[in-house]
Structure 1
Amino acid sequence: MKKVNVYGVYQYNEYLINVIVGVIDAKDDEDAMDIVSEMKLGTVIFDLNQNTFYHIQNEESKILNEENIFKCEVCDSSKKIVEIPLLKTPVYPINGYIEITLNQLTRGILKELFEMNKDFISFDCIAFGVNK
């Protein structure tokens, strides 16, 4: 058995974040993907009052920071290809995403929260993966 990092890709509108959500023991990468496919990877919340990202999984919450959030991206919403009605999730072309810093993501989210007069937003898990 070897230790394998599990990560989720979470989306809110045009923003994507990749978050390490845990570590599992698996025989190999294929075994790890089988294990992760059965897991519920939870939701990521940004709380305006705390100015903090939280990962909520199995009724437990964990504060996220640069160690847990290893990639942030944004896409130009005008490049949206389609929206999946059942999930209400927009789909963008792979070359439409631009990598941004966590600080840039936070500023963009704060702007949206102020414009919408909300205290928090949630990012839904749209994909997962594993790595060593």
Structure 2
Amino acid sequence: MRAKVSRDADLPCKPTAIYPTQTPKNSIRREQMPSNIPVSPVTLEEYSAMDMAERRKVWLQISDITEAEFEAHMAEEKAREAIVPKVGSEAPDFVADVLDRQRQRTGEKVQLSALRGTPVGIIFGSYT
């Protein structure tokens, strides 16, 4: 059986988010935020209901880049999207470093193809 690219909706159960009851020591509370950070011109609900043309206007309104820079960025993202595996396609093979509990490299590596036939969950993200 080959590994397949999937998304959360394809999983037998949804990932669960855990929200801390206390604010972490190094986080910033809203009242501590710098006053020069603009407030969004739309609510999340309004944004969700917008089409791409409306979202583009909001992005340009709140962005600190020019329209030309924005268009170049969007073209780069579209080109990148063309090489991203599609849902249901065979997952590309790769090798990853194994980390210990302190998130340090152990020197071990794991290759996706070596895990063929074994259920594998992969979380891509930043742990910095």
Structure number with larger C-alpha Rg: 2
Q: Same fold (TM over 0.5)?
A: no
TM-score, normalised via structure 1 length: 0.26
Structure in which a larger fraction of residues adopt helix: 2
Structure in which a larger fraction of residues adopt strand: 1
